[in-house]
Amino acid sequence: MNLFKPKRDCYRFHDKGLGATAELARLLDAKLYPGGWPQLMNYADQGAAFTHSSSWTTISDICGAQQASIPANSLHVGSVLYIHSWGIVGSAAGSSASTVGLYLNGAAAGTQLSISASATPATATVQCWNSDMWATVQTIGASGTISTAGTIVGISATPATLLLVPATIPTAAVINTTIANSITIAASWVTGAAGNLYTTYGHQVFLVN
């Protein structure tokens, strides 16, 4: 329906109150803004918090098993993904440095999207960490490309300090958009210690457009 056609269709929304306003908003969203609301694509089931606590020094996923994926052929040139993750972190005696980053299809065998510089939590006290990352699809296909950057807070000597991720210029990663993909958040410790831990309470990936 053309909302701007004269006479009959315009009168449909004239002086009909909130009902007509809601219908008009719905039609505008469907007709003029095909992106609509951000769509949840990929998440970790955090009904129970996922804790990765050990002396590991190899980059490892800290968000648990992925329960959904970015479907094959759902991305286009210019697609934007928003990735939000949060939880708590603690290091043994506050002396162990850590890095945090995003991976395509898991840290164990996947592709690194973006990773922080090494940072050391202030003390052995457990504190909150929060990550907000954005990724833009630049090309699609079996050898598509995607660039990712954002910020993380809570893992440095001053907990409230925002750290850029990555600390330098983002590097495009290869993504096969013709198959389903997942995005995980991962971390590692420079020095292993039993008191090192990350607990993740939330990890979601949204397709913005």
What kind of fold does domain 35-207 have according to CATH?
Answer: Jelly Rolls (2.60.120)
Q: Are 202 and 86 in contact (CB under 8 A)?
A: yes
Strand-pairing partners, residue 51, are 199
Q: 151-177 pLDDT, tens per residue?
A: 999 988 788 889 999 988 899 999 999
Q: Which of 137, 153, 124 is nearest to 75 (CA)?
A: 137
In the structure encoding, which two tokens stand for residue 66, read together? Answer: 């992925």
pLDDT, one tens digit per residue, over 36-91 is 456 766 555 555 566 665 567 888 888 876 555 789 999 999 999 999 999 988 87
Domain boundaries along the sequence of the chain: 1-34, 35-207
What would the two tokens of residue 130 be? 């929060």
Residue 10: the pLDDT is 44
Question: Do the beta carbons of residue 189 and residue 91 sit within 8 Å?
Answer: yes
Confidence of residue 190 (pLDDT cuts 50, 70, 90): confident
Q: Which range, 60-74, 105-119, 128-142, is most confident?
A: 128-142
Give the tokens for residue 138. 């630049």
